[in-house]
């Protein structure tokens, strides 16, 4: 037993001596390693409107880029106004075989508008001023003016107002065709009558066709917060230029849930110019009947192209007919602007006038070709909902009827309307109080109407004015 204890003691003593020797040798032969830091020079590519919070290794702050729109807001907010619409609604009540006048009710609505010139011209939405008896505009400095309605385009939901003032702040138009997905935008308006309100977001999509009717819907979609009262307000870029007029939201409850839509500025500018220069909208017609391509349509047509507009008919004696376009051509560009949908095509044509020449790039037999097409004027239309064919008339004919505006009733297929006194040779001058200057006005208005009862004002060849109420 004593022998084993002695062996264990010797083994422990040897271990202690070996460990002590190792530590002594290691301390005398090992040098400490000092950390080496290298500075890396980087180039700051931050956009000028972003604020840079510096990062240093010493305090461990993170580099953080935050949008700073103060200069843009200062540049634009004073040019966005509050619009008040006061209307007096005449109720009509059934009376034997017709209607008689009932009580008059006062209604008020509010929205926003954008000053586009220093002498008081303002653009807003048509639905903001629709059926107005009185219009009032309040500036950012709280000054209030009576406003005159200069003209409207119900089809595009745009109206132009005028106030008697000068040297006003205004917003210049930007190029909405150059807008890109993901870029920052500001929505400026007057929601809930709170005064000027600014929200920010990005461009989520372009060329949105909300109603699916391939008519004129070509909206810019953003995620900037827009609520009731923002209608008619400005959508501006980071340079403070107007790229759209805020018009509507997509919502299940009437308030903002993430989708806002604006009419592109190129369309707004053209409509405003038409109203101020001609008094009505000058619509350029390409002269084709076409369908939007997608995977399903392409499969039925036996083609590989799934984007663009497929021409299935060409109207005789139009610019498209005379240029050399053919049935089966696929439009992919206009003036080098991509055309992927009907909304792209109609939205771009909305910026052009009769007589304008455009370059149409098409695919034909898998080869691209470009044609120059002169746009025509739309002079006639068939109003299916009314059973009427109408035509534009010149100023000489209007003078003969003793009116300043109207469209000529050329043919009637609705027997009820004929029996109620509307005949070929009459002029339609107003529908629901809205003046009618051209066939485009009347088709746009009827397309925009969602009510069952409407009033048509007509003038007979002898200048006699009549009003009819239909339900």
Residue 439 confidence (pLDDT) above 90: no
Contact 291, 263 (CB under 8 A): no
Residue 43 confidence (pLDDT) above 50: no
| Annotated catalytic residue within 112, 127, 176, 265 | 127
Both tokens of 377, joined, read: 């004027």
Query: In the CATH scheme, what is the code of domain 78-163?
Result: 2.40.10.10
Fold match flag (284-377 vs 380-470): yes
In this prediction, residue 33 carries a pLDDT of 39
In this prediction, residue 36 carries a pLDDT of 38
In this prediction, residue 165 carries a pLDDT of 95
In this prediction, residue 236 carries a pLDDT of 96
In this prediction, residue 42 carries a pLDDT of 36
Average pLDDT of every residue of the chain: 81
392-414: pLDDT as tens digits = 888 888 888 888 889 999 888 88
Instruction: Give the best-scoring range by mean pLDDT among 50-54, 59-63, 254-258, 454-458.
Output: 454-458
| Domains of the chain by residue range | 78-163, 176-266, 284-377, 380-470
Residue percentage of the chain with pLDDT more than 70: 77
Query: Does the predicted TM-score (pTM) go above 0.85?
Result: no
Q: Which CATH number fits domain 380-470: 2.40.270.10, 2.40.240.10, 3.40.640.10, 2.30.42.10?
A: 2.30.42.10
The values of phi and psi at residue 294, to 5°, are -150, -175
The secondary structure element, H or E, covering residue 123 is strand 121-124
Q: For domain 284-377, is the CATH number 3.30.360.10? A: no
What is the C-alpha separation between 113 and 139, in angstroms, rounded?
A: 10
What is the C-alpha separation between 368 and 210, in angstroms, rounded?
A: 30
In this prediction, residue 323 carries a pLDDT of 93
What is the C-alpha separation between 335 and 323, in angstroms, rounded?
A: 15
CA 218 from centre of chain: 6
What is the C-alpha separation between 205 and 211, in angstroms, rounded?
A: 16
Per-residue CA distances from 221 to 123, 182, 391, 437, 439 (Å): 20, 11, 36, 31, 30
| Annotated catalytic residue within 231, 260, 323, 438 | 231
In this prediction, residue 167 carries a pLDDT of 95
Both tokens of 236, joined, read: 């501006």
296-334: pLDDT as tens digits = 888 888 888 999 999 999 988 899 999 999 999 999 999
The reply to whether 127 belongs to the active site is yes
Residue 276 confidence (pLDDT) above 50: yes
Q: Which CATH number fits domain 176-266: 3.40.30.10, 3.40.50.300, 3.90.660.10, 2.40.10.10?
A: 2.40.10.10
Q: Which of 52-66, 266-280, 387-401, 452-466 has the lowest mean pLDDT?
A: 52-66
Residue 280 confidence (pLDDT) above 70: yes
| Annotated catalytic residue within 153, 157, 209, 329 | 157
Residue 55 confidence (pLDDT) above 50: no
Contact 114, 123 (CB under 8 A): yes
Q: How far from each other are the two terminal CA atoms of the chain, in whole angstroms? A: 122
Per-residue CA distances from 267 to 158, 170, 226, 318, 350 (Å): 9, 18, 20, 23, 6
What is the C-alpha separation between 70 and 73, in angstroms, rounded?
A: 5
């Amino acid at each position: 037993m004593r022998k084993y204890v002695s062996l264990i003691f010797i083994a422990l003593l040897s271990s202690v001596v070996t460990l002590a020797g190792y530590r002594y040798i290691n301390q005398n032969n090992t040098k400490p390693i000092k950390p080496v830091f290298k500075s890396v020079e980087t180039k700051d590519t931050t956009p000028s409107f972003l604020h840079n919070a510096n990062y240093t290794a010493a305090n461990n702050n993170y580099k953080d880029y935050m949008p700073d729109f103060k200069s843009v807001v200062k540049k634009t907010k004073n040019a966005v106004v509050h619009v008040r619409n006061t209307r007096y609604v005449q109720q009509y009540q059934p009376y034997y075989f017709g209607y008689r006048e009932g009580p008059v009710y006062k209604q008020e609505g509010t929205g926003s508008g954008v000053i586009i010139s220093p002498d008081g011209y303002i653009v807003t939405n048509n639905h903001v001023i629709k059926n107005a008896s009185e219009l009032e505009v309040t500036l950012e400095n709280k000054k209030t003016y009576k406003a005159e309605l200069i003209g409207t385009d119900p089809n595009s939901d745009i109206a132009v107002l005028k106030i008697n003032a000068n040297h006003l702040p205004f917003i210049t138009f930007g190029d909405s065709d150059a807008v890109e997905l993901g870029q920052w935008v500001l929505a400026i308006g007057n929601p809930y009558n709170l005064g000027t309100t600014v929200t920010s977001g990005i461009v989520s999509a372009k060329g949105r066709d909300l109603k699916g009717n391939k008519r004129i819907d070509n909206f810019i979609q953003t995620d900037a917060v827009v609520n009731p009262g923002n209608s008619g307000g400005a959508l501006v870029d980071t340079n403070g230029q107007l790229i759209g007029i805020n018009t509507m939201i997509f919502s299940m409850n009437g308030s903002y849930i993430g989708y806002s839509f604006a009419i592109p500025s190129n369309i707004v500018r053209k409509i405003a110019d038409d109203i101020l220069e001609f008094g009505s909208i000058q619509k350029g017609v390409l002269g084709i009947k076409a369908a939007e391509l997608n995977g399903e349509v392409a499969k039925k047509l036996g083609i590989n192209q799934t984007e663009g507009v497929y021409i299935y008919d060409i109207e005789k004696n139009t610019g498209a007919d005379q240029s050399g376009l053919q049935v089966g051509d696929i439009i992919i560009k206009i003036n080098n602007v991509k055309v992927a949908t009907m909304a792209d095509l109609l939205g771009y044509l909305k910026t052009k006038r009769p007589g304008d020449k455009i370059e149409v790039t098409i695919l034909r037999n898998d080869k691209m070709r470009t044609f120059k097409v002169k746009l025509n004027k739309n002079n006639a239309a068939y109003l299916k909902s009314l059973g009427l064919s109408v035509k534009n008339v010149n100023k000489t004919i209007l003078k003969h009827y003793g009116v300043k505006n109207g469209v000529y009733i050329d043919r009637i297929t609705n027997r009820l309307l004929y029996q109620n006194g509307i005949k070929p040779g009459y002029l339609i001058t107003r529908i629901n109080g809205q003046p009618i200057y051209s066939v485009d006005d009347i088709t746009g208005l009827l397309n925009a109407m969602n009510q069952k009862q409407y009033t048509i004002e007509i003038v007979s060849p002898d200048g006699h004015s009549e009003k009819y109420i239909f339900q």
